């Protein structure tokens, strides 16, 4: 039920939400100790309701891994499927089951390590809250809320006229942004590389680009409202810290890079055969030396193509990566995706090398999604979700593959 701008829905990855869903226990425990694939996939840990179910990967071949033993129990008032752990794993923004408030908890790990993490409240905001978005540096979480403590999911104002963005800082400070900042839309806040500005929206699909200062007190209009027949939307940031936005109109589209005062620095037109396509960032190198873009359009994103943005150039990617339905996601300087057989492959944009990883999804079980988020490797099958420690699952396998 999260509200996401329709023109950029194709660029929203599932992996961000999965960590919130899986780490704090939204996934129902699996029955018994059998691997969903029917193969011996190592030990399984199941949990009581409200506790994360951590299961060894249902994929083959697998090293013998001990699944993570640390679980987190939220108070029963809160909805695990609407709660999101910070990128550094030290906080969780927990949304009430009736969506009437969000509480920021600090996660503490007892020493010596116990099986259950402890949480302590840090800050909260009351009122119908349907958006939760963490800053990438884990210093604050942004909440889209109407600030009315009497409102929940049953009696909120659907017009959104009273919506505001509240910034809950991990030091306990709560700042309510100016009235023009109403939506945060994604579960990552898309902060500028210098951390000084955060992308927000006045409305879900408003045709302009707004920035909220990190302090939460200033709104800056970087791209003004688009004229009739033209649509604009935030895309991301380039390696030099310029803001990237999409501009569609007249049967075509372009990726435009601007300073935060709106000064245009360059623009990249889409390939002529694409028509008016939307733009989104799927994966980026840590230093943004390359970014994997997806261009798409049509009903249900019926058209989709992937290109690498390197400098000011759009470059093609291997056909299997372009067509991959599972992934892709960034892992260091590589892009990882699953091919049509379910085998994971890693593509290195700098060299063009493609290598196989000894990790395979069982695609016979139905739709699957994979990704890396908040230090964990989550994947989902049709009816089950799983999470494993990224360092154990991916790094060790990547090391093996290089040998």
What pLDDT is recorded for position 85?
A: 86
Q: What are phi and psi of 400, to 5 degrees?
A: -60, -45
Q: What integer is the mean pLDDT of 235-246?
A: 94
Return the minimum-mean-pLDDT range out of 195-204, 241-250, 394-403.
394-403
Q: What are phi and psi of 52, to 5 degrees?
A: -60, 135
Look at residue 31 and tell me whether its pLDDT is greater than 50. Answer: no
What pLDDT is recorded for position 380?
A: 64
Better pLDDT: 25 or 112: 112
Return the minimum-mean-pLDDT range out of 15-19, 114-118, 399-403.
15-19
Q: Which of 112-116, 180-184, 338-342 has the highest mean pLDDT?
A: 180-184
Q: 3-state SS of the chain?
A: CCCCCHHHHHHCCHHHHHHHHHHCCCCCCCCCCCCCCCCCCCCEECCCCCCCCEECCCCCCCCCCCCCCCEECCCCCEEEEEEEECCCCCEEEEEECCCCEEEEEEEECCCCCCCEEEEEEEEEEECCEEEEEECCCCCEEEEEECCCCCCCCCCCCCCCCCCEEEEEECCCCEEECCCCCCECCCCECCECCCCCEEEEECCCCCCCEEEEECCCCCEEEEECCCCCCEEEEEEEECCCCCEEEEEEECCEEEEEEECCCCCEEEEEECCHHHCCCEEEEEEECCCCCCEEEEEEECCCCCEEEEEEEECCEEECCCHHHHHCCEEEEEECCEEEEECCCCEEEEEECCCCEEEEEEEECCHHHCCCEECCECCEEEEECCCCEEEEEHHHHHHHHHHHHHC
Q: What is the pLDDT of residues 40-91, one digit of tens each?
A: 232 222 333 332 333 333 333 333 333 444 566 788 899 877 888 888 888 9
Q: Which of 106-110, 196-200, 399-403 has the highest mean pLDDT?
A: 196-200
Q: What integer is the mean pLDDT of 306-311?
A: 94
Q: What integer is the mean pLDDT of 11-39?
A: 31
Sign of CA dihedral 272, 314, 395, 374: negative
Binned at pLDDT 50, 70 and 90, residue 365 comes out as: confident
pTM for the full predicted model: 0.75
Percent of the residues in the chain that have a pLDDT greater than 70, as a whole number = 69
Q: What is the pLDDT of residues 138-172, one digit of tens each?
A: 999 999 999 999 999 999 998 888 999 999 999 99
Residue positions counted in the chain: 403
What pLDDT is recorded for position 374?
A: 60
């Amino acid at each position: 039920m999260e509200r996401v701008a329709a023109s950029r829905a194709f660029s929203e990855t599932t992996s961000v939400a999965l960590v919130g869903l899986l780490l704090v226990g939204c996934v129902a425990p699996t029955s018994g100790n059998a691997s969903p694939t029917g193969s011996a996939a190592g030990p399984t840990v199941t949990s009581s309701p409200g506790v994360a179910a951590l299961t060894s990967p249902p994929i083959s071949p697998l090293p013998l891994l001990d699944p993570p033993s640390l679980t987190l129990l939220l108070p029963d008032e809160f909805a695990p499927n609407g709660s999101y752990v910070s990128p550094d794993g030290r906080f969780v923004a927990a949304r009430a089951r009736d969506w009437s408030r969000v509480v920021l908890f600090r996660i503490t790990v007892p020493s010596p390590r116990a099986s259950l993490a402890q949480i302590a409240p840090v800050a909260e905001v009351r009122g119908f809250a349907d958006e939760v978005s963490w800053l990438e540096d884990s210093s604050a979480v942004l909440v889209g809320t109407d600030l009315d403590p009497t409102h929940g999911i049953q009696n909120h104002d659907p017009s959104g006229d009273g919506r505001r963005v509240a910034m809950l800082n991990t030091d306990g400070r709560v700042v309510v942004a100016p009235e023009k900042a109403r939506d945060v839309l994604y579960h990552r806040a898309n902060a500028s590389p210098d951390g000084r500005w955060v992308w927000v929206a006045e409305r879900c699909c408003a045709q302009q680009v707004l920035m909220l200062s990190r302090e939460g007190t200033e709104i800056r209009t970087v791209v003004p409202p688009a004229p009739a027949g033209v649509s604009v939307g935030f895309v991301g940031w380039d390696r030099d810290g310029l803001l990237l936005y999409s501009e569609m109109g007249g049967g075509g589209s372009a990726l435009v890079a601007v300073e935060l005062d709106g000064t245009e620095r360059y623009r990249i037109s889409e390939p002529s055969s694409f028509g008016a396509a939307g733009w989104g960032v799927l994966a980026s190198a840590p230093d943004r030396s390359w970014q994997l873009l997806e261009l798409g359009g049509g009903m249900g994103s019926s058209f989709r193509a992937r290109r690498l943005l390197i400098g000011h150039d759009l470059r093609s990617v291997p056909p299997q990566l372009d067509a991959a339905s599972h992934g892709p996601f960034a892992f260091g300087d590589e892009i990882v995706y699953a091919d049509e057989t379910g085998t994971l492959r890693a593509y290195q944009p700098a060299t063009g090398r493609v290598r196989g990883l000894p990790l395979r999804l069982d695609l016979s079980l139905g739709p699957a999604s994979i990704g890396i988020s908040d230090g964990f490797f989550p994947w989902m099958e049709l009816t089950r979700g799983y999470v494993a420690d990224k360092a154990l699952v991916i790094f060790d396998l990547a090391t093996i593959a290089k040998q």
